[in-house]
Amino acid sequence: MICLQKKLLFNETLSIFDLKRKGEMDKLFDIKFLDQAFDFLGCLDKKHYEKILFNIRKAQTQHDPELFKKLNDEIWEFRTLFQGIHYRLLAFWDKTNSENTLVISTHGFVKKRSKVPDNEIQKATQLRVKYFEDKENSERR
């Protein structure tokens, strides 16, 4: 129940986040949250997800590996350190639309070691494959 209430608050904040960035012309990319990323953020305390969204907005306008870092050929991570907690949202690029570069955030987790766990990278890779399969199937219809 608490997580559901937090998700509703997160949804309101995300709407404000989207409104604020509509006027920004110097964005490097747009972002879309897959369900698992949305659920992860929605279960965090308000100050925590607001800090993560703040860092994502910064990453959209500047090249900063402290905020958005490449992990391998396909997977990237949004990085946030807040109140001693290392938050990570894994993501990948969708450049199939030549007009808008889109970053898809797959899921999030709290990082407990210095290296991103391989299973989290594998999960992001699987979600990436599914995303492009679903996208291709929907375009065929």
For residue range 57-99, list pLDDT tens digits in order.
Answer: 999 999 999 999 999 999 999 999 999 999 999 999 998 876 6
Q: How far apart are CA 82 and CA 15, in angstroms?
A: 22
Q: How confident is the model at residue 16 (pLDDT cuts 50, 70, 90)?
A: very low
Q: Which two tokens stand for residue 2?
A: 């608490």
pLDDT of 22 reads 52
Instruction: Give domain limits for the chain.
Output: 2-19+29-140
Q: Could you tell me the pLDDT band of residue 12, with boundaries at 50, 70 and 90?
A: low
Contacts of residue 97, defined as CB under 8 A and 6 or more positions apart, other chains included, come to none
At residue 41's C-alpha, the angle toward residues 71 and 124, to 5°, is 30
- Domain spanning 2-19+29-140 has what CATH number? 3.30.2310.20
Helices 2-21 & 35-42 angle (0-180, nearest 10):
110
At residue 139 the predicted structure's pLDDT band, cuts being 50, 70 and 90, is confident
Identify the pLDDT of residue 4.
54
Which helix (H) or strand (E) covers residue 77, if one does? strand 76-82
